[in-house]
Structure 1
Amino acid sequence: MKPQPRGPCALIVIDMINTYDHEDAELLVPSARRVVPVLADLIARARLARAPVIYANDNFGSWRSHHGELVDTALAGAHADLVEPVRPDDDSLFVVKARHSIFHETPMSYLLWRLGAGHIVLSGQVTEQCVLYSALDAHIRHLEVTVPEDAVATIHPQLGSAAMEMMQRNMNAQIVAAKEIDFAHPPDQPNPG
């Protein structure tokens, strides 16, 4: 029997505050363009349902950065059109990360515990890197994981597909379309109505 989620569902937006001036960016940008409208809608629905929205983002190697500076830098870049629709609002939470996993030496576990969130929705980029490693770390922390397949961007589509299969098979992640996610009634919780 599958364990029941332990609390509210949190949406985690991974590395979408981005300047796209890194290696492989030219391969990532087309996928990000397809994902941004879907992700913007997902973020809006999470906010409407009062689900926690947490941005987990690289710091661009600048160890004195804070989230406002990261957003400003990304919005001043060549691909601001990919950042503006998904930018954090005043109620969004922000965790700066240095490596692939949103959990690696960050306060993410503590933050989710404080929120009482036992179920996370992983969105953003890159499916075959940060999303995959974050799903594994969430799984070993006994968190329920959902990945909206149309709200994650890839550099290499074949690796992205393989990562989705690994998350589903090895980490018990639910792979769904973003429109199927109901933040008010996460999967495996009864819908009163």
Structure 2
Amino acid sequence: MTAPPRSALLLIDLINLFDFEGGTALARAAEATLPALQRLVQRFRAGGAPVIYANDNFAHWQMDFRELVATCCHPQARGAAIATALAPMPGDYFILKPKHSAFLATPLPVLLAKLDVRRLVLAGVAADACVLATAVDANAREFEVVVPRDAVASRTPALRDTALDLLQRSRAAKVTTAARIRLPAGSGAGS
């Protein structure tokens, strides 16, 4: 009998200043997903499954991830509530990405191989851009992809729903809710 694939939670662009056109609407939508996101992160950490932050560097090529987190957690930053609530913990992983997909020109494929991950749960922003691009790339690389609808956001509900419908209809991802996502036995560290 084949063992279930090891899972990882990929948090996309949640460490964010939201200082771009449409950023205020996206930040509000992302804040609404915080309860589901926090439960997912807690469940993955408790289960010993990898939590990976995949974040744009927002064209700040000299800033590293820790600096980005500190900048976004500043009380005056538009994304402070989200960055503070979802701040990385020791043991979490991170990659900086230059474009939409977390796979494009990043070490993510190598990291996932080293962690023996074959199932990705994608959460974050924006469902109609970076989450969509990452899901399609993950599917093309033959990962099992799951997207919880209550843990992704777009500037409008219609944009989110259109992207999720496309992922579901194309079978690039299974769309569900955060509460329905289970970690297969053996998803944790050392499994």
CA contact (8 A) 2:12 2:123 kept: yes
CA contact (8 A) 2:24 2:78 kept: no
Aligned to 2:43: 45
Partner of residue 15, structure 1? 13
Deviates more, 1:171-180 or 1:99-108: 171-180
Counterpart of 2:117 in 1: which secondary structure?
coil
| Corresponding position of 1:29 | 27
Cα distance in structure 1, aligned partners of 2:3 and 2:63? 34
Are the equivalent residues in 2 in contact too, given 1:146–1:173 (CA < 8 A)? yes
Deviations 1:119-167 (A, max 9, x none): 0000011000000010100010000000000000111321211110111
CA contact (8 A) 2:8 2:52 kept: yes
Paired residue type of 1:138: A
Give the letter for the 2:40 counterpart: L
Report the Cα offset of residue 110 of structure 1. 1.1
Counterpart contact for 2:40–2:178, Cα < 8 Å: yes
Percent identity among equivalent residues?
37
Residue equivalent to 1:164: 164
Number of the residue aligned with 2:55: 57
The whole-number CA distance in structure 1 between the counterparts of 2:68 and 2:175 is 30
Tell me by how many angstroms 1:5 deviates.
8.0
- Identify the range of structure 1 (169-178 vs 64-73) with the bigger mean alpha-carbon deviation: 169-178
TM-fit CA distance, 1:185: 4.1
Q: 1:185 to 1:155 in 2, by over 3 A?
A: farther
Q: Is the 8 A contact 1:101 1:130 kept in 2?
A: yes
TM-score of the aligned structures, taking structure 1 as reference length: 0.90
Where in structure 1 are there 5+ consecutive unaligned residues? none
The aligned residue for residue 183 of structure 1 is 183
- Counterpart of 1:42 in structure 2: which amino acid? L
Cα distance in 2 between the residues matched to 1:134 and 1:179: 22
Secondary structure of 2:146's counterpart equals: strand
Task: Tell me how far 1:64 sits from its aligned partner.
Answer: 1.2
Q: Which residue of 2 aligns with 1:149?
A: 149
Report the TM-score when normalising by structure 2: 0.91
Distance of aligned partners of 1:100 and 1:172 in 2 relative to their CA distance in 1, 3 Å threshold: closer
Count of matched residue pairs: 184
Structure 1 residues 185, 169: closer, same or farther in 2, change over 3 A? farther
Q: Which amino acid aligns with 1:181?
A: I
Structure 1 residue aligned with 2:111 = 111
CA RMSD of aligned residues (A): 1.7
Please give the per-residue CA displacement for 1:71-116, whole angstroms capped at 9, x wherever unaligned: 0010112331121111111111000001000001111111111111
User: Is the Cα–Cα contact under 8 Å of residues 5 and 119 in structure 1 kept in the other structure?
Assistant: no
